[in-house]
Every structure is written in C-alpha cells, then in structure tokens.
C-alpha cells in the first residue's frame, strides 16, 4: 500500500471521515514494547489505521494539539489499563478527553486490563489509590484545585465499567486476534483506499 494511502472503514449507515480508526491509550513503560506494540502491529496488518502516541508529544502540562486532534478524530478507543497507568497524568488526561469525546459524539471505548484487576481500576484501589495519593499531594503543594483529579477518577470508573478484555484470562496472541476482529466488526467493511490529500480535499469541499 502506498505510504500516503489510508484505508477507511465505515458502517453502511455512515460515511463520516475520521483521522484514525482506532486510538490506543496506554502507559508506555508498561506495554509499549509488548502487548500494545503487538496489538498496534496486528491492527495495521488488517488495514486498520491506529494511532499510538509518540512520547515526544507528552511534554508540559497540557495535551499536545496533535494528540488532542488524534483523540477527537478517532472512531474507536482502546484503553490498555496497566499497573502504572494511573501514575501518569498524561494517561489520565487522555482518558478524560476520551470520555469527553464519547459524551459529545457517541463512540466505542474498549478497556483492556493488562496486569491489573478491573475492580482496582474501577474503585481506584491498591496501586491506583497510591497513584492518586501522589497526584493529590503534588497538586495541593502546587495550589491547584482537586477538580481535575475527580474527573480522572470518574473517567477511570466509567471506562472500567464497560465491557472489555482481561488479558490474564487468555494468551496474548489469542486476545489480540479477538480484539482485532472485534474492531473490524465495529468499523464495518472497507470502503475506500484513498490518498490522505484526496480525503482532505473531499472533506473541505
């Protein structure tokens, strides 16, 4: 496939163009070089245009414009929860933005529990509780209000309550195959293989 080509998936009832088919939210140090990396490769092998953030985009306190655009322009979100996910303010800000997008324009969010129990994420207990203690201590020292941490907690609970996948129950390769097939079913059949510049021109017109 040419480097400037992109496959678009859509259901028969919608022809909306999105920047990405799938956005992957994950803690890099936990899963970038294993599960999430393998999942990203498997999605692309099936022609699914997935976004996996670059660490260079994670600088400063605010979500980088490129990252924000990728979130807002994605059709499906896969959130890979791991033990250190909640220790990253970047991951938590991503998740809060994902929830904002889903509330304003309904889209699918699929949680994957990598090495953490769903109840730990849902209730912010154990390692997630410790992570929030650190966040709240730092924010208090900086004189910042606690509203943001409350939004993070609400986002974690909301997504952890959704139907998803627990990687502890199956071999990784089996689970990855099932997730990819689930994404294909959600996105529907391939309808185009158009250069990105043509897609932009068509959208602007």
- Output the DSSP codes for 160-177: HTS--EEGGGS-HHHHHH
> Which tokens sit at 183?
């994404």
> Residues with Cβ < 8 Å from 177, sequence gap 6 or more?
42
Query: Rounded to whole angstroms, how far apart are CA atoms 156 and 110?
Result: 12
Q: Which of 183, 156, 160, 182 is nearest to 113 (CA)?
A: 160
Residues pairing with 81 in the sheet = 113
> Residues with Cβ < 8 Å from 165, sequence gap 6 or more?
110, 111, 112, 113, 175, 178, 179
Q: Where does the chain have alpha helices with state H?
A: 28-31, 35-45, 65-72, 89-104, 118-123, 126-141, 147-160, 172-187, 196-204
Query: Rounded to whole angstroms, how far apart are CA atoms 86 and 90?
Result: 9
Query: Rounded to whole angstroms, how far apart are CA atoms 46 and 181?
Result: 9
Active-site choice (29, 55, 66, 94): 94
Query: Is 94 known to be catalytic?
Result: yes
Q: Which residues are catalytic?
A: 94
């Amino acid at each position: 496939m040419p480097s400037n080509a992109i496959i678009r998936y859509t259901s028969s009832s919608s022809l909306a163009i999105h920047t990405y088919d799938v956005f992957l939210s994950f803690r890099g140090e936990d899963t970038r070089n294993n599960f999430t990396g393998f999942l990203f490769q498997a999605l692309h092998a099936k022609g699914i245009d997935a976004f996996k953030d670059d660490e260079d985009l994670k600088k400063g306190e605010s979500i980088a414009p490129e990252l924000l655009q990728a979130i807002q322009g994605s059709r499906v979100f896969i959130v890979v929860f791991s033990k250190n996910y909640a220790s990253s303010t970047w991951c938590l800000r991503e998740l809060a933005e994902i929830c904002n997008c889903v509330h304003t324009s309904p889209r699918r969010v699929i949680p994957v529990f990598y090495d953490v129990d769903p109840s730990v994420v849902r209730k912010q207990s154990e390692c997630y509780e410790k992570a929030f203690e650190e966040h709240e201590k730092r924010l208090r020292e900086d004189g910042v209000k606690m509203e943001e941490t409350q939004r993070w907690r609400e986002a974690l609970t909301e997504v952890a309550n959704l139907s998803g996948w627990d990687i502890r129950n199956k071999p990784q390769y089996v689970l990855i195959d099932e997730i990819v097939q689930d994404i294909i079913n959600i996105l529907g059949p391939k309808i185009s293989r158009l250069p990105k510049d043509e897609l932009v021109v068509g959208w602007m017109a």
